[in-house]
Each structure stands twice: as structure tokens, then as C-alpha cells.
Amino acid sequence: MKTGAIVFLDILGFKGIWQHKPERDVLNLLLAIPGVVKKAYKEPPPESGWPTVGEPEVTLLSDTIIITCESQYPQVLLLMCAIINAILLNLLSYRMLARGAIGWGRYTKEGPIFLGPAVDDVAMWYEAANWVGVVTTPRTNYMIDRLENRKFHAHGKEVDPFVKYDVPLKSGKSAFLNVFNWPGLMQASYAEGTFRQNMTGVFSEQDSIDHSVHEKYENTLRFIDHVVKPNV
């Protein structure tokens, strides 16, 4: 088996998308994802001291995006953050959203087939949260706690790509985990205004919002308020 980082992203609102978006637009959205991943991936230079990392691989299964990146060291989880951020930004340009999970461990990939403990771990968690965002699996959460020098330099600001948060789950319970700080990274690129305003705009453009979707959006805004301070 290989060892590395695995991300599962679930595109929200994808089921029934054919009813209000042309088929070609949907296909173009999905076909663009591998290019987005390739552009976002920056291989660490040899002098950086980073361990060897394989190039990320992308698999698309309807509304699920799977990215793997082979490495014997969990530091690869930090490299995955730039990739996740690029995908979320790309989806937002289509006014679409995603939730998911990231993990690290052993896996086997052959074509569209994925096997292994890390796959089971991520698959268990990528649809569990009741929000828009990306969680670490519990075992990966503890790995993130141990990583040093985590901060990214984004538009002249230092941003930690992971923050601890009490994640609301669809079960009605919650889980205190390291989660991907996508609002913090995106807010760093705003010269004026706030990322929160952008997200409420995206929410307002959705075709319809039932109670469960409204709850998901409100949970997302609470997370944004938690990580993005008014003076950012």
C-alpha cells in the first residue's frame, strides 16, 4: 500500500443540478478540477528540507472529488491545503459549495478503485459535518496537533491553515477537531470588504433553501465569524 494524504470533497447541491444548469456547464466544471489541482500544487524545493512528495492525483466520481498525494510524512497535509483552497475557490466561481474531510495513512488506488484504512477513515467523515467546510478525521486531527511551522504567508499575512473548532455534525452532536481554515485564507486576499459578505451573497443566489440547508449555512457563517476577525 501507498502512504499519503487523502481528501474527499462532496459538492453540495449537485444532485438534480441537471434541472437548472446545462450539461456542458456541469461537465466543464468537473473537467476543470484536475487543472485547478495541478496549478495549485507547488512542489517543495530540495533545499527546503521537506520530505519527498508525489504529485497529487485526482479522481471524479459524480459529486465527489478525491485527491491523493503520496508521502511517508504527514507534513503533506499542509501541502494539500493549497489544493483544497484552490478547489473551493473554483467552485465558488460557479456559486457552488463543498464539504469534506482530509486524512493521512495507507491506501491503494487503481483506476477508480480505492482501498485501505485511510480511505475508510476519510470516507467515514467527509459527509458527517453539517456545514460548508473541510474537517480532519479524528486520527489526523492529532497529527495536525503535532505539526510545527504550520502558518501560510497569504497576501502579506500569516494564516494557520488549520484551526480547532467544535464542528456541528448532521447527527446533532459535535466533534472538536482541527478543520481547514478556508475562510481565513480567503479573507487574506480581500483588500476591502469581508469574505462573510461574499458567502452570504452566494447563499442568497441558491435556488431554494429548506430548513436543513438553512441550518448548514448558519453553521458555516458561525465558523467564518469564529476565524475571521472584524479587523482582518
Count of structural domains within the chain: 1
Give the pLDDT of residue 193. 65
Residue 168 is assigned to a structural domain of this protein:
yes
Cell numbers that stand for 26 in this block: 456541469
Cell numbers that stand for 124 in this block: 467515514
Residue 136 is assigned to a structural domain of this protein:
yes
Torsion of CA 13, 18, 21, 22, to 10 degrees: 150
Q: What is the DSSP letter of 126?
A: T
Give the pLDDT of residue 109. 87
Q: Which domain holds residue 17?
A: 2-227
How far is the C-alpha of 87 from the C-alpha of 33, rounded, in Å?
7
Residue 232 is assigned to a structural domain of this protein:
no
83-131: pLDDT as tens digits: 999 999 999 988 889 999 999 999 998 877 889 999 999 999 999 999 9
Selection from 80, 78, 70, 57 nearest residue 2 by Cα = 70
Selection from 222, 188, 173, 231 nearest residue 82 by Cα = 188
Give the pLDDT of residue 52. 72
Residue 87 is assigned to a structural domain of this protein:
yes
Give the pLDDT of residue 232. 40
Residue 111 is assigned to a structural domain of this protein:
yes
Residue 85 is assigned to a structural domain of this protein:
yes
Give the pLDDT of residue 35. 94
Q: Which amino acid is at 43?
A: E
Q: What is the CATH number of the domain that holds 124?
A: 3.30.70.1230
Residue 92 is assigned to a structural domain of this protein:
yes
Give the pLDDT of residue 127. 94
Across the chain, which distance is largest between two alpha carbons, in Å?
52
- Which H/E stretch holds residue 176? strand 174-180
Give the pLDDT of residue 231. 46
* Averaged pLDDT in 10-residue chunks for the chain of 232 residues: 95 71 78 92 69 85 91 91 94 91 94 90 96 97 91 81 96 96 87 79 85 94 87 43
Give the pLDDT of residue 47. 61
Residue 27 is assigned to a structural domain of this protein:
yes
